[in-house]
Chains A and B, each alone.
Chain A
């Protein structure tokens, strides 16, 4: 007859062993996503990364980089573009709601100039003037990086915008935007993150990024090209080639060729309050040197994908004959 006392100790030891072994069997499934430091771009369904005037706009400091908001050169530029000196921060924030912001260093994006400053709706409130369409400053450093054929295209668009014609951006006319111009669109950006694929959706647009795979040899040209991605620590890096030449790279309608190569970097900042989006654009058919820009987004909650954003083309005709782009449409619908 075994000693009941000793047996009970063995029982306790056995139970402990059992619990530990069961825990060990279950742990890997749980540990897998705790251990990773990849950016949590995917949010609960009611939250997204807003790029425009979506809901309550948080204070600039919570999602805009310091080197943008407090850079003396940017403040000087804001004043040159018409900002009251005491409202430069508000001006810079308003501007960032539908414009790329310059990179921390190097060649930046095409932009407006003091001659024809661009005022979007929130900037109008800051400067106390009427809104204006975008007119590219062709004397800037960024414009000097643009090849003559593309400069010609910009000149034509400038003339149209100054004549109050076709001043709307491609996103406002509901077109597919390509990369990087999808970042100009203000609608909240939503992510689905799986190990093999990252899907970005925004209004009526959807983009697919295939993770940890090489590019195809000759991807067929398409609106968003072929995007492959990987994580570099806390940053999602997306490399895109194979875009068609029907899109523009910015709101000023700077064209590009099918040689366009874009590398985007997505990083969650300030404890999930902001999404840092930066990208480098290389197109040996359009630009002498690669340039880069940023487009920070902020967290919005209580705003799942909205049908209003999704049905852009419904009731969006050029009713007042402002020379807008036609809406995308199918003359012979298939299905």
Chain B
């Protein structure tokens, strides 16, 4: 079994092209590119053809060489995959799903009834939040609002792995594998859901379904049905990571809606061990955490 070791060398790509251009210039024996171009103008048709053949042969040889590399080699990966690897940490915590465009989530009457029931239950203690009480898996989009840092690895081959500090949640997203159909997903509903990812240009697209009814969309108890399907578009913008999630759940919502989560690249941060019920890292840098903690201490829910 052959497995590449090392980060996807996207940054190295420019270095490779730099070397190719350097070789190109070298082939003109020190003459500047402009002079070479002028020379092309003075050349006879035969000489021009011969020069063209040189380049054709070189390009073909290079193409053949790249094609001969085993699939999944860094050169291929560099060509196709954006580098999303790193440690990320949000600086805002959202106890409620931050609906893009503002306003409340577009709950339909069934959704409103479920939300009221959840909120009432969380307030009077008749409804447990097992995910938080026993530190299980959050599901999507609740996991996206984590105020703790997390890591992204575009490893092992065929998978993008999100390693979260919160509850030690490891989200293993298989690449280019079909998502189970709705009918299949409801046979065994899960906390973490089923996921499938693929790359579209600079974006990692992740679809998920099959979440069980023990999970909420956020810590306020926003409900979902077994028809929930989320589509995340994850991309890097400078030193930030954006996860734009579309929430599709026709049983509880009148339309699909979106939420946007942004994280800062924090490769200076090491993830810490997390055990349920422990006192964990200082989150004072994350806006919204103090308010939620104060509210929880008074048994108030958002």
Residues of A whose CB lies within 8 Å of any CB of B are 1-2, 4, 7-8, 10-12, 14-15, 17-19, 21-23, 25-26, 29-30, 32-33, 36, 38, 40, 42-47, 175-176, 190-195, 199, 201, 204-206, 208, 210, 222-224, 272, 304-305, 307, 310-311, 313-314, 327-335
Contacts and interface: CB of A to CB of B under 8 A. Distances in A.
B5 A40 contact: yes
Interface string B56-89: 0110011001100100011100100000010000
Given A45-B156, A206-B168, A18 B275 contact: no
Given A194-B7, A205-B168, 19 more contacts: A11-B57, A12-B57, A18-B23, A21-B23, A23-B61, A23-B62, A25-B19, A26-B65, A26-B66, A43-B156, A45-B158, A176-B273, A194-B6, A313-B276, A314-B191, A330-B132, A330-B133, A331-B277, A335-B147
A38 B4 CA distance: 11
Contacts of B273: 176, 222-224
A335 B219 contact: yes
A328 B170 contact: no
B20 A195 contact: no
A55 B272 CA distance: 32
A97 to B, nearest CB: 23
Interface stretch (B43-51, B179-187, B225-233): B43-51
B71 to A, nearest CB: 12
B136 interface: yes
A335 B93 contact: yes
Contact of B172 (A1, A33, A305): A305
B135 A332 contact: no
B130 interface: yes
Contacts of B293: 334
Contacts of B23: 18, 21-22, 25
A11 B55 CA distance: 9
A331 B12 CA distance: 48
A12 B58 CA distance: 10
A332 B129 CA distance: 10
Contact of A313 (B19, B44, B53, B136): B136
Q: Is the interface of B mostly helix, strand, loop or mixed?
A: mixed
B53 A21 contact: no
A191 B158 CA distance: 14
Contacts, number: 212
23 contacts: A11-B54, A15-B61, A18-B61, A21-B27, A21-B58, A22-B58, A22-B65, A26-B62, A29-B9, A33-B6, A44-B3, A44-B158, A176-B273, A176-B275, A191-B156, A192-B153, A194-B6, A199-B163, A329-B135, A333-B296, A334-B293, A334-B296, A335-B95
B interface residue count range (under 10 / 10 to 19 / 20 to 34 / 35 or more): 35 or more
A333 B5 contact: no
B145 interface: yes
Interface of B: 1-7, 9, 12, 16, 19-20, 22-23, 26-27, 44, 46-47, 50-51, 53-55, 57-58, 61-62, 65-66, 69, 73-75, 78, 85, 93, 95, 129-130, 132-137, 145-147, 151, 153, 155-159, 161, 163, 166-170, 172, 174, 190-192, 214, 219, 270-273, 275-277, 289, 292-293, 296-297
B147 A199 contact: no
A210 B296 contact: no
Nearest to B9: A29
Contacts of B169: 204
B58 A201 contact: no
A25 B16 contact: yes
Nearest to A207: B273
Contacts of B159: 45, 304
Contacts of B22: 25
A204 B5 contact: no
Contact of B192 (A10, A33, A307): A307
A11 B56 CA distance: 11
A222 B273 CA distance: 6
